[in-house]
Amino acid sequence: MPSTAALPSPSVPGPEARLAFAELLLGCEDARICAEAAVAWLVHHAQVSQVLCLAPDESDSHCLVPIAWNGLPTPEGFTLALHDAKHPLVEALQWSEPRWFHPGQLPPELPLSSQGLFTLSLGRAIAGTPAPGLMLIAAPEPVLSPDAPWLVGHLGVHLTRLYKGRQLARLEEASTELAARVNAATEELATQNELLRRQAIQLEQASAAKSQFLANMSHELRTPLNAILGYTNMLLQGVNGELATPQRRSLTRIDSNGRHLLEIINEILDITRIEAGRMPLHLSEFRLPELIQEVMAELDPIIARSKLAVSAALDPNLPPVYSDRQKVKQIVVNLLSNALKFTHEGSVKVLASYEVATATLHISVEDTGIGIDPIHQEKIWEDFQQVDSSPTRAYGGTGLGLSICRRLAAMLDGRISLKSAVAQGSTFTLYLPRRTRRT
Amino acid sequence: MNSPALNDTAPLVLIVDDYQDAREMYAEYLEYSGYRVAEARNGLEAVEKAFALHPDVILMDLSLPVLDGWEATRRLKSDARTRAIPVVALTGHALDGHSREAHDAGCDAYVTKPCLPDALVREVQRVLASVAAA
């Protein structure tokens, strides 16, 4: 074991040299220039000739590259990957004291490995910043000037500060960019919100305009239709003299077609009013038997013409109902007219009962008619839809009746159900709460 | 019109409508049904004729040029000379609000067009009967 006393003692640079170096570093923001100054200082003051300084690559903080050296062939191209934790030089980064390697102790491809060398860490890696670097100093013997650790420590502190500053600048940049992005996103969001708000207003206006248009159109259609139906009515009454049979037949056709047209206009108007929320509820207390009697009386001309057994079976204990009488009547008229229209033989029954538990009245119209295939049982509730909507269909109508009934029932807090099968007849049931709440 | 029922003692109906075909149609049927008929094409004419002729009943379309039916009715109902004349509002507008507005304006009854001539005459009969009963 060699004795340190036997080794030549390196000359000690004066405090001026240290001060000069410290001042040089203070004004230097460039890691490479600092490292080069350190290498030159070591060569000049610490009696070393071969020195290599490794520091983080500008572009990549995960490896160290040569940034300054002396007494060596250009070591550029050498890279020390920091993730390789087992690498002796990566391990060396962790030591706070200089460490000496025998010649040949390090892998031959490493710079200076053919000689004995000291490794001096410039500082440990800390979270967020890379290790500031590693100084390799060739030394045939494990003897190092005490100025070397001082200088390396000083350089390390300075480089760490530089890297932290650079990191901070990067963070600030990223934070500014993030803030800009957040601002842009917020602005975009505000723009989108405004756009949505405007679209909502436009939609509302369009919907209101549609309702107004349909209301106006309905008025415009009714005005001439009023004259057509009125004059036809007068002619049929013989106001302008008696009519010959063919004339009367033609006028009757005009009359029935005009009435059908009026019915369509009224139904479109009904849907428009419901959709626009302009169908008012007129709630009152009334009794179902009288209402059903009225409906039967109203449809008596059609019932009389049919060869059907039409009857009503009402529960004697039906309580009075608090609802919109006109709308309930409209639903029952519609359901009964449908039953009469789609039943050619057999019977049509109107049934009414009361379910105490749910305080609900059940008004059913049961027929022995053509029935409805289950696949069409959804469609019939939609606007303008019939089981057969084709131009050659056997049954006329607007296809609005059940759609209106369903909407009216909903307005009254009720609903309509259907039970049917092809050729097995249909049963439509209106479930009506005993008391409709005013909304 | 030379209906046999027409004479000077028959009730006078003032029919107010800007739509000529409807106005003349109702006029013709009212005369056919035995009433005397006067016609007005707008609200202002209606007010003037009501003051001049003092009809027994007024059939008032609501959407009228110059002066609308609501305003005409309001003027007639606020004048002692015409206040007692029953006004039947007649309109093609089925949207809600019209009947209430018509009522607020002082209309005594409300009929929605399309209204067949015979139905209108029945309404006239009903209104005249209720006036006579009062």
Res. A351: pLDDT tops 50: yes
| Residue range A29-48: mean pLDDT, rounded | 87
Per the DSSP assignment, residues forming a β-bridge with A81 are A63
The rounded mean pLDDT for chain A is 85
* Residue A83 banded pLDDT, cuts 50, 70, 90: confident
| pLDDT for residue A337 | 92
Residue contact B94–A266, C-beta within 8 A: yes
**Is A239 in contact with B19 (Cβ distance < 8 A)?**
no
pLDDT digits (tens, 9 = 90+) for A210-243: 877 877 787 788 888 999 999 999 999 998 889 9
Separation in Å, CA A297 to CA A337, A351, A429, B43: 12, 16, 20, 40
Per-residue confidence (pLDDT) for residue B11, from 0 to 100 = 93
pLDDT at A251: 93
Asked if B28's CB is within 8 angstroms of A234's CB, the reply is yes
Q: Look at chain B and count its residues.
A: 134
Question: Residue A8 has what pLDDT?
Answer: 44
Q: Is the pLDDT of residue A378 over 50?
A: yes
Strands B36-40 and B57-61: unpaired
Give dist(CA B30, CA B5) in Å, integer: 11
The mean pLDDT value for A28-52 works out to 87
Chain B residue at shortest CA distance from A214: B95
One-letter identity of residue A69? W
Mean pLDDT, residues A39-65 taken together: 83
> Does the structure show a pLDDT above 80 at A430?
yes
Say whether A273 and B95 touch across the interface (CB within 8 A): yes
pLDDT tier at A16, thresholds 50, 70, 90: confident
Chain A to chain B, count of Cβ pairs less than 8 Å apart? 58
Asked if B106 is an interface residue toward chain A (Cβ–Cβ < 8 A), one would say no
> In the sheet that B57-61 helps form, which strands lie side by side, from edge to edge?
B36-40, B12-16, B57-61, B87-91, B109-112
**Listed range (A47-61, A291-305, A312-326) with the worst mean pLDDT:** A47-61
3-state secondary structure (DSSP) of residue A226: helix
Give the residue carrying structure tokens 């049919």. A306
| Winning range, highest mean pLDDT, from A58-67, A266-275, A307-316 | A307-316
Q: Which residues of A touch B113 (CB under 8 A)?
A: 222-223, 226
Per-residue pLDDT at A9 = 45
Q: Are A203 and A196 in contact (CB under 8 A)?
A: no
Mutate to test the interface with B, among A210, A239, A266, A274 (most CBs of B within 10 A): A239
DSSP secondary structure string for all residues of A165-192: HHHHHHHHHHHHHHHHHHHHHHHHHHHH
CB contact B32 to A (< 8 Å): yes
Report the SS3 class of residue A264.
helix
CA distances from B36 to A147, B13, B21 (A): 132, 6, 18
Task: Look at residue A4 and tell me whether its pLDDT is greater than 60.
Answer: no
**B4 touching A, CB under 8 A?**
no
Q: pLDDT grade, residue A429 (50/70/90)?
A: very high
Contacts of B20 in chain A (CB under 8 A): none
Task: Reply yes or no on whether the pLDDT at A7 is more than 60.
Answer: no
Contact yes or no for B116 and A233 at CB 8 A: yes
SS3 content of chain A, % helix, strand, coil (to 5): 45, 20, 35
A109: exposed, middle or buried (Cβ count in 10 Å: 0-12, 13-18, 19+):
exposed
Predicted local confidence at residue A75, as pLDDT: 78
Judge contact between A340 and A302, C-beta under 8 A: yes
A215, A226, A269 member nearest B113 (Cβ): A226
The nearest CA of chain A is from the CA of B81 a distance in Å of 32
How does residue A129 score in pLDDT terms, banded at 50, 70 and 90? low
**Which residues contact residue A239 at a Cβ distance below 8 angstroms, ignoring those fewer than 6 apart?**
B28, B29, B32
Q: Does A277 touch chain B (CB under 8 A)?
A: no
Distance between CA atoms of residues A54 and A134, nearest Å: 5
Give the sign of the dihedral formed by CA B50, CA B51, CA B57, CA B58: positive
Cα Rg, chain A, nearest whole Å: 50
Crossing angle for the helix pair A147-236 and A31-45, to the nearest 10 degrees: 170
The verdict on B70 touching A (C-beta cutoff 8 Å) is no
C-alpha span between A17 and A319 (Å, rounded): 113
Q: Would you call A233 and B92 a contact, using CB atoms and an 8 Å cutoff?
A: no
Between A248 and A14, the more confident residue is A248
**A17 pLDDT above the threshold of 80:** yes
The β-bridge relationship of strands A415-420 and B109-112 is unpaired
Chunk chain B into consecutive blocks of 10 residues (it has 134) and report each block's average pLDDT, rounded to whole numbers.
59 94 94 95 94 94 87 91 91 60 76 87 92 76
Strand partners, A70: A51
Does the beta-carbon distance from B114 to A219 stay under 8 Å? no
Which one, of B49, B51, B44, lies nearest residue B65 by Cα? Answer: B44
- pLDDT (0 to 100) of residue A162: 82
pLDDT band at A170 (very low <50, low <70, confident <90, very high): confident
Query: What is the model's pLDDT at position B95?
Result: 52
pLDDT on residue A128: 61
Query: Torsions phi, psi of A375, nearest 5?
Result: -70, -15
pLDDT band at A3 (very low <50, low <70, confident <90, very high): very low
ipTM of the complex: 0.86
Q: Which residue has the higher pLDDT, A131 or A68?
A: A68
Closest by CA to B90, choosing from B72, B8, A139, A304, is: B72
Residue of A nearest to B117 (CA): A230
Would you call B118 and A262 a contact, using CB atoms and an 8 Å cutoff?
A: no
Q: What pLDDT is recorded for position B98?
A: 60
User: Is B29–A239 a contact, with Cβ atoms under 8 angstroms apart?
Assistant: yes
Contact B29 A234 (CB under 8 A): yes
Q: Is the pLDDT of residue A369 over 70?
A: yes
Contact A237/B at CB under 8 A: yes
The reported pLDDT for the residue numbered A197 is 93
Side chain identity at A355, as an amino acid letter? E
CA distance A430 to chain B (A): 25
SS3 B65: coil
Q: Which residues of A221-234 are buried (b: 16+ CB within 10 A; e: fewer)?
A: bbbebbbbbbbbbb
CB distance A365 to A348 below 8 Å: yes
**Cα–Cα distance for residue pair A383/A380, rounded to 1 Å:** 8
Residue B101 to residues A119, A327, A427: CA-CA distances in angstroms? 101, 22, 41
All structural domains of chain B, each given as residue ranges with its CATH number in brackets, are 12-133 (3.40.50.2300)
Cβ neighbours of B21 in A, within 8 Å: 224, 227
Of A175 and B133, the structure prediction assigns the larger pLDDT to A175
Binned at pLDDT 50, 70 and 90, residue A127 comes out as low
pLDDT higher than threshold 80 for residue A389: no
pLDDT of residue A431: 95
B31, B125 contact by CB (below 8 A):
no
The span from the CA of B28 to the CA of B13, in Å, is 12
Angle at A382 between CA A379 and CA A384, to 5 degrees: 105
Per residue in A300-341, pLDDT (tens digit) is: 988 998 889 999 999 998 999 999 998 999 999 999 999 999
| pLDDT value at residue B36 | 95
Q: Is B34 on the interface with A (CB under 8 A)?
A: no
| Crossing angle (nearest 10°) for helices B117-133 and A147-236 | 80
